[in-house]
Amino acid sequence: MSAAQIHIAGVHKVFGQGAQQVVALQGIDLSIAPGQFVCLLGPSGCGKSTLLNAVAGFAPPTSGRISVAGQPVQGAGPDRGMVFQEYALFPWMTVEDNIGFGLKIRHTPVAERNVTVDRLLQMLGLSEFRLRYPKDLSGGMRQRVAIARILALDSPILLMDEPFGALDALTRRSLQDELLQIQAQWQKTVLFVTHSIDEAIYLADRVVVLTYRPGTIKLDLPIALPRPRDSSSAGFNELKRELGAVVMQEQQRHQQAEQRGLAID
Ligand SMILES: Nc1ncnc2c1ncn2[C@@H]1O[C@H](COP(=O)(O)OP(=O)(O)OP(=O)(O)O)[C@@H](O)[C@H]1O
């Protein structure tokens, strides 16, 4: 394997103090190679977003180290683009202005900016919507704009926090396919949070399952199924059963903790 693009070593994250203290992550070690697609899977509250935010540089870990391309993460940076479940678009800007916004604040010359925006509009099937405002788009279209906006910045790493969680099944599958195409074409390294076992197997080179509180790595499973993947194949369903059993165990631990009144989320 080539040198890690993202290297996470001994990461702990603690929120709050005293009786209110929550150990969200404990002893996380993870190395992700350039161009690898890794899905983080686990029950609600297991620390998936906390880990993603730490890699993004939004919220540093309490202890441990995170480096990207060999450099310690000391805050957000243009080498890491984040896509959230909520589309986070500027409602007062058209589709094309939303996509070009990051380039504008980087002072990219207008001609160059227009070439990039045109290419992304075309690639994501948004050309005829370029002058619309986010409120006039479907959820799937809005998420396409959010992805195009991040791609415009050409970050080698995409951090995606349940980006397709709010979409219907058909739109979700077509965006998953588009993302896979983009990732293969541009060799992006992707760290993708999901609740969906099906989505993780469909997308990932590797699925990392986290335990429920404290969040530790329960399973790190390479997915060797050929691409494009067929979610009705025997191999796919076998993996679904295997991962389903592991995630269910953690889900049950979560429910038991809640019943004992230990969970506060
Ligand atoms: N700012 C915060 N202050 C206190 N506790 C927090 C904070 N952010 C997260 N937590 C707690 O840390 C734990 C991990 O949260 P996190 O959001 O990372 O989980 P998750 O796996 O992404 O959950 P979900 O799938 O529901 O988004 C949870 O128990 C949560 O309540």
Q: How far is the CA of 49 from the centre of ligand 1 (A)?
A: 7
Average pLDDT over residues 113-122: 94
**Ligand 1 pocket: which residues have CB below 6 Å?**
15-16, 22, 24, 42, 44-50, 195, 213, 265
Q: So where are the chain's domains? A: 1-79+157-166+187-265, 86-154
Enter the pTM of the model.
Answer: 0.92
Sign of CA dihedral 147, 150, 153, 156: negative
In the three-class reduction of DSSP (H, G, I as helix; E, B as strand; rest coil), residue 31 is classed as strand
Report the percentage of the chain scoring pLDDT > 70: 97
CA distance 119 to 36: 24
Residue whose CA lies nearest to ligand 1 atom number 7: 15
CATH of 1-79+157-166+187-265, one of 3.40.50.1820, 3.40.50.300, 3.40.50.720, 1.20.210.10: 3.40.50.300
Counting ligand 1 atoms within 8 A of each CB, the residue from 17, 21, 22 with the most, and so the one to mutate, is 22
Residue whose CA lies nearest to ligand 1 atom number 18: 47
Q: How far is the CA of 215 from the centre of ligand 1 (A)?
A: 10
Do the strands 37-41 and 206-210 form a parallel or antiparallel pair, or are they unpaired? parallel
Query: Tens of pLDDT along 154-199?
Result: 899 999 999 998 888 888 898 899 899 999 999 999 999 999 999 9
